[in-house]
Every structure is written in structure tokens, then in C-alpha cells.
Amino acid sequence: MIQQKVISKRFGKVDPLSIDSYIKFDGYNALEKALTMHPTQIIDEIEKSKIRGRGGAGFPAHIKARALANAKQPKYIVCNADEGEPGNFKDRIIMENDPFSILEGMVILAYATGAKKGYIYIRGEYQNAIKIMKMTIQNAIDKGYLGENILNKGFDFNLEIRTGAGSYVVGEEFSMIESIEGKPGRSRVKPPYPTDKGIHDKPTLINNVETFANFPHIILMGGDNYAKIGTPSSTGTKLISLSGNVKNKGLYEVPFGTSIRDVIFKLGDGVSYNRSIKMVQLGGASGPIIPEYMLDMAIDFERFENFDSKTGTGAIIVIDERFDIFDILLINMNFFVHQSCGKCAPCREGHTQIVNLLNKIKNHRGTEQDLMSLENLANVIQQTSLCGLGQTSMTSIISSLRYFRDDYFAKVRY
Amino acid sequence: MVNLKINNIDIQAKENTTILEAARQNHIDIPTLCNYPDLSIKSECRVCVVEINGQKKLHTSCSTVVKDGMVVKTNSPKVLNSRKTIIELILANHDANCTACPKNYNCELQSLANKLGIDKNRFPTVLDIQPIDNENPVLIRNINRCIKCGRCIDMCKNVQSMGVLDVMGRSKDMKITPAYGKFLTDEFCTYCGQCSSVCPVGAIIENDDTDRVWEALNNPSLHVIVQVAPAVRVSLGEELGMEPGSIVTEKVVAALKYLGFDGVFDTDFTADLTIIEEGNELIERITNGGTLPMMTSCCPGWINFAEQKYPEILDNISSCKSPQQMFGALAKSYYPKKMKLKPDDIFVVSIMPCTAKKYEAQRDEMKIDNVHSDVDVVLTTRELGKMIRQMGINFENIEEVPFDKPFGITTGAAAIFGATGGVMEAALRTVYEVVNKEELTDINFTAVRGTEGIKEAEVEIGGQKIKVAVAHTLENAKTLSEQVKNGTSPYTFIEIMTCPGGCIGGGGQPYGTTKAVRDKRIEAIYQVDENMPIRKSHKNPDIIALYDEYLLKPLGKKSHHLLHTHYSSRKK
Amino acid sequence: MKIKEILSKYPKESEYLIEILLEIQSSSKNHYISSEDVEQISKYLDIPESQICSVTSFYTLLSMNPKGRYVIQVCHDVPCFVNDTTSIYEKLVDMLAIEDGETTEDNLFTLEITECLGCCNEAPAMRVNDQVYTSLTPKKVEKIVKDLRGEEK
């Protein structure tokens, strides 16, 4: 089987609203085990597992955890469930199918780092997930798995749900911190990093939903065993949100190293009506657009880093031969025009001009000079923007200029 | 110390220095736009980006701290191209009709574009023209020129605790406006003008009244007189190209004469008068159980603030008009009588470091005949600078001339009104001697000087020790006002100034005012005080004469009519 | 629920502003925050109205203008676009006679093009108030709108 179900092993098999059902299916075994360990041992296991963050950027999880463990009180843990990147739905499905695993992962990390307070920040569009997570928290408190004196081990961890109110950029760490403080989600200057100065300037660790859901498994199987899954540089499994023009759209869990082609054709059963693939966008609106001939590429952080983007979220959007790349690029760019927070000049002003240039080229009115302006502006936005939004929004443009240059030349006037 | 290389030059910098600071200390220029001394580092415009070896992305030098072994390039082709592109982007969403902008030649965006060699824009304009907020007498907001640097918000929200302006919307639709995009009104804005003094472009400027003054000056049937505020004599030179802190008292007089004013007077005179009235009011309140602590009333921004936010404490505020308005009242009563002129023929202009004075002058309470404003037009230091430039006056070399009579003699006590703590010190010099009936051995009350936010002192008056406090900026005014409102204020007398540093840091002062510049102006103003032959208001012979021949006595009937006023709540 | 009751549930700390705004809005029939609400919140949290407007105008799920009883948000991102969301949007425009950002004259419907709803596995998708509808076809949309209209009668 190409799928390897670790995080998704309970999906569809447990009642997401029942803590008893969760416990029956190995739930909270990891927490029980973790509480017998020394907090630093837990972080050691995370380090051995070599797990990298599942929110897209792929930052090694143990580095943040250790930084928070070494930080002074008060300190906070945040679960980033503001899944706004188009093409991604994995975090929603985890929340809706196995919500206790997220809580268990958070409590384990709280114990390991000494944090006493945490937040789960869920985008406002996910009303169902918000309801489920609220109930989950209450159930966990009632059964002693959360709140004061967890499992009678004299350790406290309180969780609060924060609801997003419609902003993509809040998925970025500092924007989320600002939003948790009740402000518009506009990022801050880095450094200092959140683990030094986060919520109310106190140390804060932010991980993605999927990252937290991995921790119980790391504790149960041990870091070394976990590291055997996947590839040496990208360990473990990855949830893949497969969408677009495939027959079987859906969420699949595969070990790192699986090829994109296998996901599309073996799991997704190929393109509907057996049309050919024009392009595939990886990661979401901020990810690269690659041509069909690159589909043998393995799903792997090292490969993704070539694209300078949040490809690591694991979204694969398949787009068939009927579509024009400029329509796809324009949807992406209009998305960023709408989602830029407006704080820094290149991002605020740049995306509008990118849209202007794309429209011009799409409508055969663009010149070679416009093509150069587009390339130049895309690079400036990527290199000078304040936060991850502007630093990654140009990935689809830059990759399209690399892999679909002929599409541009076909439209540009000479 | 940290060792690094900038543009191939070996540089040593202190720990925690930013690349920008380290570069400037070594005379390497990195252009900036949103950056402003004393305000928070915003890192928003991204103009100051530099290339750091081993890093793929460019980093803003204003926010990046130096590290040992760092190799920085401030002007590589990549950096220069990025800067240029960013400025072109900003210009494409900016009303760049420079010659139709009051900030022409005084605009940071314009100079930057010029410096970077931008003579055409690769990007078409995307400006969506918005209405101009010009319905108040003080400030004009033209958001078509706004580049969203956020300096004004920093001033309004953090320094002044007002939060009138904030960021509305996001992305390309982001605007800096009051709530709901409303226009400024006296219901919620104090008109302190600090926003206008830090705006890098022409998005917030004072309402230009120079044309009204030219018109009056050219009207032969008008007798046009002018008063000059204490703080202007240490800042107008700077506006006209001289060093910050240059003392130009009599150059100002000469320039005003050259412009054609019929009488050039010193607001210092009515500052002395304020001390006599206010000092007596304080003594009266202390001895007769009046409302205490008494709070000063010469700052119109503070009066607006109190009327909007603290109507509960209006009784604590001295009923004395400000020196500007005392002058206005005398100019339309005592002066015409003495000069045998008709009050209606007199046109009174003020030169103020302040924007809120424009509002104060047109208040209904400031019309002794209930019809005409006592002060007809208020110009800021910057506006007077404009008139002097229009007239082609060589200000630096102009021959100095003294102020005109009958308000000719002034004191050092009045001059220091321009700095935070100055009104307090001037009042103490007088109250101490009047009540204690003994001469002060040291007239310098240094405890109330300096730029600390809230200063305290203790003085013995009439055998009892009283505590006084001095605050500048509305954030600090808020702290003291809360105490007064809650009945927990330990003070007897409180001086409040709206602007950082007092009037020398007023919203109408030359652009580029920073803490360092304010310090120089303050130093200069105490120098003016030191140089004066008389340094106590009650020793001013012209003031004594004014009481003898016209006002009769402090807090008397005439004083009450001309020199005192009242306040009313504007709280929603 | 009255605004005072909602406010009293929250500590007087500005970090709860967004939660407060969301709750006030969801208690409003027309899905918006009125200027009276803003005034009350300003007093309760002791923050300027401009700060509240700044937050309200930043987040797309918050509105300072009244909307229809049903806010229909159609996703228009790539996964939905390549699954023909355009026909869904056009069907709605056709049935409601309004476009993106507009409200029907009877104040029943507001139509909005929105960002990814995270339902790409069942694209195309739309949301009506808090209810998500997926795997849409123009026919399905027709039924949904008819049902909503029927509910009102």
C-alpha cells in the first residue's frame, strides 16, 4: 500500500466527540508514557525523530521546543489551525476526525516545555471544527486530561480556542500572535522570534495542527523508530490534500519520499476524463506550479526548499489541459492582493501591479519589457517583504517563468 | 564591540547596534522612509534593505542588529534595484503632483525618489482618489498623498494616547484615518498637530492661512499687528536653514517688519501677564479653599483634551486665558485705546509653534466683543518661514530690531513658557516671592526642567509645603488627570503641555523635530532666560504699568472680562 | 442577546476584542457590528473606536455594514475554479440578480466571492452563514436557494 496511516489511523474509526472512543483506540497512551519521562527526554525524542513542522516552512520541531523549554514563565503554546492556504484541508479533517490527538500532542509539549497556557487558533470559516474542538477541550478537562493537575501529576495546562475572523495572513506566526492579542493580523519584525517574544512579548511556540498530532506517535514509537519512516531528511508521514481535476480528491497519508505522480495516479486515480495534466500547483496559492514532466519529484522538504515557499503543507492541486496558466496565476495573485495585510510597501503595492502586468500579458498587450518588469517585481516582492506572505506569494509566478516560459512568449508582443 | 564589514570597509560597532546605525556612524548613507528618530522601528517601507552575505533575502537595516563577521552591502545592484522598485510602487499609489503640494521640496518621498534617480515610473498609477478632509480650521488630511508609513499613528496613539488615527482596511485598500474614515472634528481630535510634524509627505498639514495674512497686510485700511510666541525665537532660524537651537528673537522682529506688519509684539509680555493672573488665582485657591490641584490653561491641545476626555476636572483648570488670547484681548481693547485706533481696524496675527492655537483663536469664548475673534489669524512657525521665503528675505543676515512698544519689556520667566516646566518655574518665581515676601536666593527651579515625562517638586509657600507636578505629552497628562479625577492627586499645582518637550516641540514647529533637536531648542530657551535683565514676571515694569493704568488689579473686574474664560464638556 | 450581556462575559482586556466582535456579529440578524456596538465596546475595553474599526475592517468575516439574512460565500480559488465554480457563481447571480458584495432588495441574500473554505476535496464549495455546501452543481445551488427562500415564507 502506498498509504501509511499513522496520524490518520483513527479517521473514521473513532467517534470524534467521544473521549472514551479515543482512549479505546490507544488514545492518551502517549501522554501516560510522556508523564513518566523527564521533560528534556521528550524533547530529545522529538529531536531524534527529526520531525519538521508541518505548516509549510518545515522548521525542525525540536529547536522551537527546546527554546521554549529554556524560556522563562509565563510562556505559551499555540496550535495553528488557521488553515487558509487554498488547496489545503488536512487540518480541518484532523480536527473533525481525531481532535483528541491534537490535544494530546499539545499537552505532551506543554509538559516538555513547562508552558501552562495554550491556544488553538482556528479559522472562522471552520465552524464545525470550532464546535468539535470546544467540546473536545471540555471532555478532556472533565476526564482530567487537561486543565489543573493533569492525570494527578501536579501539572497544569489550560487551553483556549481563538477564532479567526477572516484573514489568510494570520496563519503567519507573528500575525497570529497579533490576532491572539486582539489586533489586526499584521506581522512584526523578526528577530526577536516568537520563542523569545511572542504573545504579550512572552515566549510563544506555534506549531501546526499536524505537527502536534504527530507528537503522541513519536512518544509511543520512540524518536528513532519514527525517523525510520520517510527519507533521511524528511522523516515520518505527510498528509496530502489532493484536489483539482483528479478523480478521487481527498486526504491521503503517505511516507515522505513518495512521488507526486504516485499520489495523483495511484491514490487520486488520475485525471478526470483521462485528460492530460497541464500543471500541478504544490502547497497552495503560495506554492510553485510545475509541469507534468516533473511529477516524479519526491515529496520531500529538501526538494521543496528549491522553491522557497510553503510547499511543505502537502497540498497537490492538479490542473488539466483545459486551463490557461494565466487564469491560474491571476487567481493566485488576486488572492494575495486581497490578503496582503498592507503593512509593508512591496507586498501592499506590489501585488496590484503584478495583477496589472499579468492581465496585460494574458490579453496579448504585454511587451518584452513587461515580462522583464514582471520578473523583476516578483523578485523584489519575494526578497524584500516583511513576512512570509510576500516572501512566498511570488513562487507561482517565478516557477511559471521557469517552467512555462513558452506560454509567456506565446502572448508577448515583439 | 562587534566587527563587521560594510561595503568592504571594516567597521566596529557596539552590541545591539542596528546596521543602519552602524553605517551612519561611519558616514555610509542608507536611505530610509518610514524610519523616524524616537519613534518605534516599523520596518514597513523596506527602503533601507541591504544585502547580507550568506542570506538569500534582503534585510531591513533599520531593524537588523549587527553580528560579528557580518558582511553587508548597502548598494549592490540587487539592493539599488529593490529600493528603486519599491519607491516606484509607492509613487504609483501616491498623488505625485508635487508642485501642487505644500510639501514640495520638503518631502521625504520626493527627495528619496530624486536620490535614487527615479525620473520615470515603470508602474501605472493605481491611485483611487479619496475626498480631502479639510472641514476643520487646523489640519488638512489628504490621504491621496499618504504612503502608510504609520508615523502619525505612532504619535497619535502611543505618544499622545489619543488613537484618533489608525489603520483601516488592508492591502491596497488600507488607509490611515479616524474611525469609520470620518473627518477630524473637535469632538475627538485635540489638533495637537504632532501627526503633521512627522508626516514624511503632504498627507497631513496645517491649514495654510498665509494668504489671509498677505491680504490683510495689503489692505491699507487695516492696522495689522503680530505677536510672536516664546518658542518661535528658538526655532524659526532652523526653519530657515540655521542650526537647531539658534536664538533669532530680533531677527524675527526684523523679518516681520519687512513683511509689513504695523506692530510687532512679543507674546512673552502676556506670558508675564498670565503669571500674574494665574499666580494670584493659585494663591486665591489655596487660601480660600478653591478647587485644587489647579492645572495650567495655556496649552490649547490640553484644553481640548480635557474638554473631550476629562470634563470632570474642568474646574481644576485655571480660568486664565492663554498668553495668545490675553494678547488678543488686549490688542482689541487696551491697544486701540492707547493708540487711538478703532478696534475693528485692528487685525491680529499670531506666530505660534502650535497648530491647536488655530482652533483656540476661533473659539466663541475668545471674542471680547462676542463677534470678532480677538486673534484673527494664527500662523505656525512653518507658515511664517514660508512667508519669509516668499518675500526673499535673507533671514540669517537680516539686521536685528527690538519688539515694539507698548508691550516692549518682557522677562526671562515668560521666555521659558516655551519649554516643558517653564510655566511652572515662572509661576513659582512669582508666587514664592509674592506670598513669602522674600527674594528667592536661587531662581532656577531645576527640578521642573528637563524632558522626563512627569516631573515633581516641593516648594514652601506661605509656611506650607506644596507639591507640584509638570507633565508633557497627553499620555502623561492622562496619568495626572486620572489622579485628579479620582481624587488621589497629591499635587497643588500642575502644569500640562500637550507636545513632547512643550511648545518648543509643538506641532507647528519646523519639520524634522526630534528629541535631539528639542533638547537644543530647550537649551536655547533657558539661554534666553539667562540673558534677560529681568527674570521674574512680577518685576516687569510694563506689566506693573498696565495694571496701574488699565487693569487695576489681578483677578479684578477688567481682568475677569478680558483675561479669563471658561470650559465646557465635549464628552460624548 | 443584548450587547451588555455579551460584553459582561469577557474580561475587560483588549485581547478579547475579536472574540467579542464575532459574538456580537453572530447575534445580529444582519451579520454586522453597528456604530452603537462599537461605542459600547470602546467604553467597556477602554480603547479608542478607531482601534475597533481598525480590527473590524481588517478581517473579512467582520462587517460594519448590514448584510442579508443569508450570506452566501462562493469559493473562487484554484481547486474550486478548476471544478467549475464559475457556473455556480453565475447560477447565483442569475437567481438572485446581484453580484459580488451586493445584497438583494428584500435583504434576504448577500452574495460574496470568498477565499478557500478548505473543502477542496469536495469542490466546488460555498457557505451560507455557517453552513457549508460542497460538490455543488448549478442544479444543487438552485435547490439550496429555493429552500432558503421557502424557509422565509
Instruction: Determine the residue type at A209.
Output: V
pLDDT at A306: 78
B240 closest CA partner among B431, B382, B432 = B382
**Torsion region of C9: left, alpha or beta (phi above 0 gives left; psi -120 to 50 gives alpha):** alpha
The answer, yes or no, to whether residue A308 has pLDDT greater than 80, is no
Q: Give the residue from B75, B102, B128 where a domain finishes.
A: B75
Handedness of CA B126, B132, B133, B137 (dihedral sign): positive
* C46 and C107 share one domain: no
Which residues 6+ apart lie within 8 Å of B12 measured at CB?
Answer: B1, B2, B3
Residue C64 maps to a domain: no
* C80 and C39 share one domain: no
Residue A310 maps to a domain: yes
Rounded CA separation A377/A355 (Å): 11
* C18 and C88 share one domain: no
> What chains are in contact with C, requiring at least 3 Cβ pairs below 8 Å?
A, B
For A260-301, the pLDDT digits (tens) are 999 999 999 999 999 999 999 999 999 999 999 999 999 998
**A160-167 average pLDDT score:** 96
Backbone angles phi, psi at C14, to 5 degrees: -65, -15
CB-CB contact of B492 with B286 (8 Å): yes
Rounded to a whole number of angstroms, the distance between the first and last alpha carbons of chain C is 25
3-class DSSP state of A37: coil
Instruction: Determine the residue type at A191.
Output: P
Q: Which residue of A has its CA nearest to B49?
A: A384
Clarify whether B239 is annotated catalytic.
no
**B267-296 average pLDDT score:** 96
Rounded CA separation A19/B483 (Å): 53
The number of distinct structural domains making up chain A is 3
C-alpha dihedral over A164, A165, A170, A171, to 10 degrees? 50
Q: What is the DSSP letter of A272?
A: G
Q: Give the residue from A227, A256, A288 where a domain finishes.
A: A227
* B419 and B523 share one domain: yes
Q: How far is B175 from chain C (nearest CA, A)?
A: 10
* B231 and B198 share one domain: no
* C37 and C93 share one domain: no
Residues in A lying within 8 Å of B, measured between beta carbons: 167, 184, 186, 189, 191, 308, 337-346, 348-353, 356, 373, 376-377, 380, 382-386, 391
CA angle B521, B526, B530 (to 5 degrees): 145
For A269-278, the pLDDT digits (tens) are 999 999 999 9
Q: Which residue of B has its CA nearest to C63?
A: B169
The Cβ-side half-sphere exposure at C41, using a 13 Å CA radius, reads 30
Clarify whether B452 is annotated catalytic.
no
Nearest to C50 among B163, B169, B572 (CB): B163
Mean confidence (pLDDT) of chain C? 95
Rounded CA separation B184/B178 (Å): 7
C-chain CB neighbours of A182 within 8 Å are 13-19, 55
Q: What is the spatial order of strands in the sheet that B263-266 belongs to?
A: B263-266, B223-228, B346-352, B377-380
The number of distinct structural domains making up chain C is 2
pLDDT at C153: 52
Q: Is the peptide bond before A288 cis (omega within 30 degrees of 0)?
A: no
- Cα B142 to the chain's mean position, in Å? 21
ipTM of this model?
0.95
3-class DSSP state of B516: helix
A-chain CB neighbours of B158 within 8 Å are none
A-chain CB neighbours of C121 within 8 Å are 89, 241-243, 249-251
* A295 and A162 share one domain: no
* C54 and C75 share one domain: no
Count Cβ–Cβ pairs < 8 Å, chain A vs chain B.
100
Max Cα distance, chain A (Å):
75
pLDDT at B264: 97
In order, the DSSP letters of B338-406 are HHT--GGGEEEEEEES-SHHHHHHTSGGG-TTSSS-SS-EEEEHHHHHHHHHHTT--GGGPPP-PPPSS
Rounded CA separation A184/C54 (Å): 7
* C93 and C36 share one domain: no
pLDDT at C152: 57
The number of distinct structural domains making up chain B is 3
CB-CB contact of A88 with A315 (8 Å): yes
The answer, yes or no, to whether residue B415 has pLDDT greater than 80, is yes
B322 closest CA partner among B571, B562, B570, B569 = B562
Mean confidence (pLDDT) of chain A? 96
Decide if C38 and B166 are in contact by the 8 Å CB cutoff: no
Q: Give the residue from B206, B231, B254 where a domain finishes.
A: B206
Q: Give the residue from C58, C82, C99 where a domain finishes.
A: C58
pLDDT at A273: 93
* A95 and A161 share one domain: yes
Residue B155 maps to a domain: yes
Rounded CA separation B477/B313 (Å): 12
pLDDT at C150: 87
Residue A232 maps to a domain: no
**A225-235 average pLDDT score:** 95
* C37 and C83 share one domain: no
> What chains are in contact with A, requiring at least 3 Cβ pairs below 8 Å?
B, C
Place of cell 526538494: A303
Decide if C78 and A86 are in contact by the 8 Å CB cutoff: yes
The answer, yes or no, to whether residue A413 has pLDDT greater than 90, is no
Q: Where are the alpha helices (DSSP H) in B210-315?
A: 210-217, 236-239, 249-259, 267-287, 300-309
A-chain CB neighbours of C58 within 8 Å are 167, 184-186, 341
What pLDDT band is residue B155 in, cutting at 50, 70 and 90? very high
B190: domain CATH number? 3.30.70.20
* Structural domain range at position A78: 19-227
Clarify whether B365 is annotated catalytic.
yes
* C79 and C141 share one domain: yes
The answer, yes or no, to whether residue A186 has pLDDT greater than 70, is yes
Residue B86 maps to a domain: no
Nearest to C55 among A124, A183, A251 (CB): A183
Clarify whether B350 is annotated catalytic.
no
Decide if A88 and C15 are in contact by the 8 Å CB cutoff: no
Which residue out of B20, B66, B89 would a mutagenesis test of the A interface target, given it has the greatest number of A Cβ atoms within 10 Å? B89
B86 closest CA partner among A391, A401, A348, A372 = A348
pLDDT at A307: 77
> What chains are in contact with B, requiring at least 3 Cβ pairs below 8 Å?
A, C
**B456-485 average pLDDT score:** 95
* C12 and C50 share one domain: yes
* A244 and A119 share one domain: no
* C78 and C103 share one domain: yes
For C112-129, the pLDDT digits (tens) are 999 999 999 999 999 999
Residue C65 maps to a domain: no
Residue A6 maps to a domain: no
* B416 and B544 share one domain: yes
In this structure, what C-alpha cell is assigned to residue B565? 474664560
- B318, B350, B373, B481: the catalytic one is B318
* B129 and B244 share one domain: no
Residue C77 maps to a domain: yes
* B233 and B182 share one domain: no
* B263 and B276 share one domain: yes
* B269 and B183 share one domain: no
* B128 and B275 share one domain: no
Q: How far is C50 from chain B (nearest CA, A)?
A: 4
C95: domain CATH number? 3.40.30.10
* B200 and B228 share one domain: no
The answer, yes or no, to whether residue C94 has pLDDT greater than 60, is yes
3-class DSSP state of C113: strand
Q: Is the peptide bond before A191 cis (omega within 30 degrees of 0)?
A: yes
**A246-255 average pLDDT score:** 97
For B5-59, the pLDDT digits (tens) are 999 999 999 999 999 999 999 999 999 999 999 999 999 999 999 999 999 899 9
* A401 and A260 share one domain: no
pLDDT at A1: 65
The answer, yes or no, to whether residue B492 has pLDDT greater than 90, is yes
* C133 and C107 share one domain: yes
What pLDDT band is residue A304 in, cutting at 50, 70 and 90? confident
* A29 and A128 share one domain: yes
* B302 and B400 share one domain: yes
- B48, B156, B192, B298: the catalytic one is B298
Decide if C48 and B166 are in contact by the 8 Å CB cutoff: yes
Q: Give the residue from B206, B240, B261 where a domain finishes.
A: B206
A266: domain CATH number? 3.10.20.600
Mean confidence (pLDDT) of chain B? 96
* Structural domain range at position C76: 70-152
Which residues 6+ apart lie within 8 Å of A65 measured at CB?
Answer: A43, A46, A109, A112, A113, A205
Q: How many residues does chain A have?
A: 414
* A213 and A95 share one domain: yes
pLDDT at A303: 83
pLDDT at C118: 95
pLDDT at C1: 61
* B329 and B428 share one domain: yes
The answer, yes or no, to whether residue A310 has pLDDT greater than 80, is no
Residue C14 maps to a domain: yes
Task: Tell me the percentage of chain A whose pLDDT exceeds 70.
Answer: 99
Rounded CA separation C136/C119 (Å): 11
Clarify whether B281 is annotated catalytic.
yes
* Structural domain range at position B163: 120-206
Which residue out of C15, C31, C55, C58 would a mutagenesis test of the A interface target, given it has the greatest number of A Cβ atoms within 10 Å? C58
**Torsion region of B365: left, alpha or beta (phi above 0 gives left; psi -120 to 50 gives alpha):** alpha
* C105 and C137 share one domain: yes
* B441 and B558 share one domain: yes
Residue B569 maps to a domain: no
A390: domain CATH number? 1.20.1440.230
Which residues 6+ apart lie within 8 Å of C29 measured at CB?
Answer: C69
Task: Tell me the percentage of chain B whose pLDDT exceeds 70.
Answer: 100
**C10-32 average pLDDT score:** 96
Rounded to a whole number of angstroms, the distance between the first and last alpha carbons of chain A is 52
What pLDDT band is residue C57 in, cutting at 50, 70 and 90? very high
Residue C83 maps to a domain: yes
For B232-262, the pLDDT digits (tens) are 999 999 999 999 999 999 999 999 999 999 9
CB-CB contact of B495 with B470 (8 Å): yes
Clarify whether B503 is annotated catalytic.
yes
* A247 and A316 share one domain: yes
Q: Decide if B164 touches C, using CB distance below 8 A.
A: yes
Q: How far is B172 from chain A (nearest CA, A)?
A: 6
The answer, yes or no, to whether residue A364 has pLDDT greater than 70, is yes
Clarify whether B192 is annotated catalytic.
no
